[in-house]
């Protein structure tokens, strides 16, 4: 099991936030009373989504990293998983000696 997450989980949630913000902007431009209520609902949704994303990230004991070098996501995750497995094996060997 990998310890690495794809950035897509963040991108999906950020897209939701951007879409809600766009709808909020449209509702705020309307002069209808029903749209004011909708705008307030959307503002609450945006706040909730942003806090949810923040809380999700805050649960980790380190900040997420984004790799911008060569290789596909799968290749990089596999490489990092292999390196971690090898490092953990070497550490265990050193502790046993």
Could you give the CA distance from residue 42 to residue 33 in angstroms, rounded to a whole number? 14
The pLDDT value given to residue 83: 94
**Residue 64 DSSP SS3:** coil
Q: How do the domains of the chain map onto residue ranges?
A: 1-66, 67-97
Residue 76, CA atoms < 13 Å, CB-side half-sphere: 12
* pLDDT tens per residue, range 15-55: 889 888 888 888 777 777 777 888 888 888 899 988 888 88
Whose CA is closest to 17, among 40, 51, 64?
Answer: 51
**Cβ distance 44 to 21 under 8 Å?**
no
pLDDT value at residue 4: 74
Put simply, whether the predicted model's pTM sits higher than 0.95 gets the answer no
pLDDT classification of 1: cutoffs 50, 70, 90:
low
- Using pLDDT thresholds of 50, 70 and 90, give the confidence band for residue 93: confident
Of the CA atoms within 13 Å of residue 55, those in its CB half-sphere come to 6
Q: What pLDDT, on the 0 to 100 scale, is given for residue 95?
A: 83
pLDDT tens-digit series, residues 49-60:
888 888 888 888
Coil vs helix vs strand at 57: helix
């Amino acid at each position: 099991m990998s310890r690495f997450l794809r950035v897509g989980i963040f991108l999906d949630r950020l897209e939701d936030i951007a879409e809600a913000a766009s709808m909020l902007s449209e509702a705020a431009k309307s002069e209808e009373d029903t749209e004011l209520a909708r705008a307030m609902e959307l503002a609450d949704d945006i706040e909730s989504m942003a806090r949810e994303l923040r809380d999700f990230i805050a649960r980790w004991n380190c900040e997420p990293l984004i790799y911008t070098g060569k290789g596909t996501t799968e290749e990089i995750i596999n490489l990092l998983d292999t390196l971690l497995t090898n490092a953990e094996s070497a550490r265990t060997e050193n502790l046993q000696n």
